[in-house]
Structure 1
Amino acid sequence: MKRRLSAILFLLAVFWITAAQTPRPTNAKLRRVTGQYRFRQDELRNSLDVLQLAGGKIKFQLVALWVSHNNPENIHNGELRGVVALENGLAVYESGNCRITMKFTSNGVAITESDENSDCGFGVNVTAAGPYRKTGSRKPKFDF
């Protein structure tokens, strides 16, 4: 009986040591954020293209449009692009008074702005904030 108990304890110890030494993937590796994201609501027509990079970073391009209901030719726009860190599904772009936070989920990304008066260089009525749905997983091509 003692031998059996010793053998079981030995096997449990080996399993525990092996499991503790096995490297665990980071959240950045678990999430595949590369792809195309879209947000449409009322007058807003926004798109986000993302390329996941090595080292826990993403390269992104965000295009935000406001299209007037009364005159569809009246379009205001805003654009951001850059390379930012991705940690635990969260990426933050900061430049001057502009702060955009991207929280990636399995089927999209929620974007928030620091406040409505943030200085991201967007046109009148343009906002990047909202829930974006992932529409594709192709690697985007950027010109920057």
Structure 2
Amino acid sequence: MHSKLVVPFSGPLLIPRESGESCEINGYHIPAKSRIIINAWPIARDPNYWAEPETFFPERFLENPVGHKGQHFQFIPFGAGRRMCPGASIGLATVELTLAQTLFHFDWKLPAGQEAEALDMAECHGSTVKRKYDLQLVSLPYATLISS
């Protein structure tokens, strides 16, 4: 079994699937043609796989980088094989480009009176995952952009 890279999902349940044949999983008999719904919430927060799974710590992925196109399901949110999200590549490229340009052209700081240690990083879950409280930042254009 290969290690899995799992990130928080937009919802706790994955798209329903149908079993192609009868099988047994962890002692449960699954008849052929059964509708299967996977609860992804506990997968992404299982302390058997993640140290401090409720802690925002993206650096945990730096030591074990994996691609999202592997055959061992290292990156679950986009699926795999025939059912892999057709827009995953363009979506990831768009987000990376937008983020890179925003970070390149601006410096960021917290508003006056706010400390980084006091930020509440709690999540609010619905059809999407978002921060429970908005993060407010002040963008500062680089001086080289102002003078040109």
The structure where helix makes up a greater share of residues is 2
The structure where strand makes up a greater share of residues is 1
Q: TM-score range by the shorter chain?
A: under 0.3
The TM-score, its normalising length taken from structure 2, stands at 0.22
Structure number with bigger Rg: 1
The TM-score, its normalising length taken from structure 1, stands at 0.22
